[in-house]
Amino acid sequence: MTATIDQLRQVPLFHGLKDGDLKKVLEAGKEVHHEAGKTVLEEDQSGVGFHLVQEGEAEVLVGGAVVRSVGPGSYFGEMSVIDGGPRSATVRAKTDLVTFSLPAWTFQELLDKHPSMAKALLIELSARIRKIDTEVTH
């Protein structure tokens, strides 16, 4: 199962991108298979990319405790694809898991080549900051 433009559009970080830009994102990523029990990413470690769950289930752990499960259509690592910062949680495959994965360095190349994508992301990130600012001040 391959990720689709519609699935990417559901990710808030990408929903402002045009279809042509979303197609470029799809072409830059790849399908990755993770065996049940495998750690997909580790809390406090550097992030190397974005993952969109295509098949299977994973559990999200913070401080070693399971805080939620994720399945098809769920995603994680959307911020690290931009800044490469440390992960805020561990994600472990609960069942065999298939993700659409986009390495940060590949996404950075896309942004360098297609400034319209960078602009759309800046608008989305600004909206997130405004929302947080409103929540904190009201």
pLDDT at 40 over 90: yes
* In a domain? residue 119: yes
SS3 state of residue 85: coil
CATH no. for residue 74?
2.60.120.10
Within 42-131, strands assigned E span: 49-55, 58-62, 65-70, 75-76, 90-93, 97-103
Give the model's pLDDT for residue 46.
Answer: 80
The whole-angstrom separation of Cα 7 and Cα 58 is 18
The whole-angstrom separation of Cα 129 and Cα 122 is 10
Domain that holds residue 94: 5-129
The whole-angstrom separation of Cα 129 and Cα 57 is 30
Mean pLDDT, the chain, whole residue set: 88
* In a domain? residue 134: no
* In a domain? residue 138: no
* In a domain? residue 53: yes
* In a domain? residue 79: yes
Number of domains in the chain: 1
86-136 pLDDT tens trace: 888 999 999 999 999 998 889 889 889 888 888 888 888 888 788 887 878
CA atoms within 13 A on the CB side of 24: 17
**With bands split at pLDDT 50, 70 and 90, how would you rate the model's confidence at 58?**
very high
Tell me which residue of 42, 44, 47, 98 sits closest to 70, measured CA to CA. Answer: 98
* In a domain? residue 137: no
The whole-angstrom separation of Cα 104 and Cα 110 is 10
* In a domain? residue 14: yes
Q: Give the global pTM.
A: 0.84
* In a domain? residue 136: no
28-39 pLDDT tens trace: 999 999 999 999
